[in-house]
């Protein structure tokens, strides 16, 4: 049952994030009269499809992404030859103004930012139940010997102060503490040691507290927006630190994300929305990086065309985007293998 719920959450996450991003490109293109030849969920090979109007809607084998094939973007060799001869530019991306091109390209990340903003706004609306968790234990301490582990949730306490008071008031007494670990409720018996200097019981345990009060509707959207902006800044700082130090151990792929979804499910609905918002904002940041095959890289090509006052050779641009797409796909596979090996070993 747990596996089914996690699987369902993964499907919902992918649908919201992928359809939202690609839907942004799609709607912007149609708004400016540009034809969309295909709207795909996942990457080929194609499993099934249906053509409605001028657009093919497809469901593809690899579900970790999606795409929209906009007329005049990522053209084939034959299409490039046609465009180079200035043929068939009706309802074509290349016939749009620079501003419209940039809007079409950036509409996907705009929708992803809105998804992140809405997700965090929901978190502020519903609030996060207060809880006390174990961060760690001191070696050979009563907490260590009793079997407490990092991540254990202390049940029956909303504030650290209340739990600490119980410990301090129970020196050399056997106390039973109810915890939740990996979805299971357990009971741990511990005997706080008497600290002669403080004349109080100590357990040798480090705690942290979670929780957030509910906010009103307007404040929720305001706080959600501020949180989203702050997270974008934090992502930028984290990426800079990773590149500067060359430590990529914290980078996770689809497997790591799916693990996080499973953990969020255990914590409750607010954490699910929090994770959805975090993933969506990470997609915003990744996609606006100025690398070919990503939205940010495509905007760079558009700006270059504006500066040099002529189109870049379509064959060359398409080849560059295709090459970098393969590089990014290779990196995704490498990170996924790292995630799987981490699980196994």
Q: What is the pLDDT of residues 170-179, one digit of tens each?
A: 999 999 999 9
Please give the structure tokens belonging to residue 8.
């369902």
Q: What is the pLDDT of residue 207?
A: 92
Three-state DSSP at 312 gives: coil
Position 84 pLDDT exceeds 80: no
Position 198 pLDDT exceeds 60: yes
Q: How far out from the chain centre does Cα 149 lie?
A: 27
Q: Which domains does the chain have, with CATH numbers?
A: 2-126+219-344 (no CATH), 129-212 (2.30.42.10)
Burial class (CB in 10 A: 0-12, 13-18, 19+), 72: buried
- Catalytic residue list contains 317: no
* Lowest mean per-residue pLDDT among 81-90, 194-203, 209-218, 315-324: 81-90
Active-site position among 22, 158, 206, 245: 22
Contact (CB, 8 A) for 265 and 6: yes
Q: What is the pLDDT of residue 48?
A: 93
How would residue 85 be classed by pLDDT, with cut points 50, 70 and 90?
A: low
H/E stretch holding 43 reads strand 36-52
CA distance 240 to 264: 27
Position 115 pLDDT exceeds 90: yes
Please give the structure tokens belonging to residue 156.
């029956």
Three-state DSSP at 132 gives: strand
Residue 213 vs residue 194, higher pLDDT: 194
What mean pLDDT is predicted for residues 263-283? 83
Q: What sign results for the dihedral spanned by CA atoms 312, 315, 317, 318?
A: positive
Residue 10 vs residue 29, higher pLDDT: 29
DSSP code for 288: T
């Amino acid at each position: 049952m747990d596996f089914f719920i996690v699987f369902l959450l993964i499907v919902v996450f992918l649908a919201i994030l992928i359809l939202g991003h690609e839907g942004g490109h799609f709607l912007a293109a149609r708004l400016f009269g540009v034809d969309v030849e295909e709207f795909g969920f996942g990457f080929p090979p194609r499993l099934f499809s249906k053509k409605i109007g001028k657009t093919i809607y497809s469901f593809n084998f690899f579900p970790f992404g999606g795409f929209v094939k906009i007329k005049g973007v990522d053209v084939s060799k034959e299409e490039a030859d046609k465009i180079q001869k200035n043929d068939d530019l009706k309802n074509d991306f290349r016939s749009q103004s620079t501003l419209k091109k940039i809007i079409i390209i950036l509409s996907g990340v705009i929708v992803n930012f809105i998804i992140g903003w809405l997700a965090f706004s929901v978190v502020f609306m519903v609030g996060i139940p207060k809880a006390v968790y174990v961060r760690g234990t001191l070696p050979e301490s009563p907490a260590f010997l009793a079997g407490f582990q990092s991540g254990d949730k202390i049940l029956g306490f909303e504030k650290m102060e209340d739990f600490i008071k119980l410990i301090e008031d129970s020196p050399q007494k056997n106390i039973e503490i109810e915890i939740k670990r990996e979805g299971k409720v357990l009971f741990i018996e511990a005997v706080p040691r008497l600290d002669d200097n403080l004349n109080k019981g100590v357990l040798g345990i480090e705690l942290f507290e979670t929780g957030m009060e509910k906010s009103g509707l307007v404040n929720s959207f305001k706080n959600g927006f501020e949180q989203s902006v702050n997270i974008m800044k934090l992502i930028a700082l984290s990426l800079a630190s990773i590149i500067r130090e060359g430590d990529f151990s914290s980078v996770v792929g689809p497997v790591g994300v799916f693990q996080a979804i499973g953990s969020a499910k255990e914590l409750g609905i607010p954490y699910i929305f929090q994770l959805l918002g975090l993933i969506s904002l990470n997609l915003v940041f990744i996609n606006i990086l100025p690398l070919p095959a990503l939205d940010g890289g495509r905007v760079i090509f558009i700006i270059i065309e504006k500066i040099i006052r002529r189109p870049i050779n379509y064959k060359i641009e398409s080849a560059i985007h295709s090459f970098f797409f393969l590089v990014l796909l290779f990196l995704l596979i490498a990170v996924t293998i790292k995630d799987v090996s981490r699980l196994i070993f």
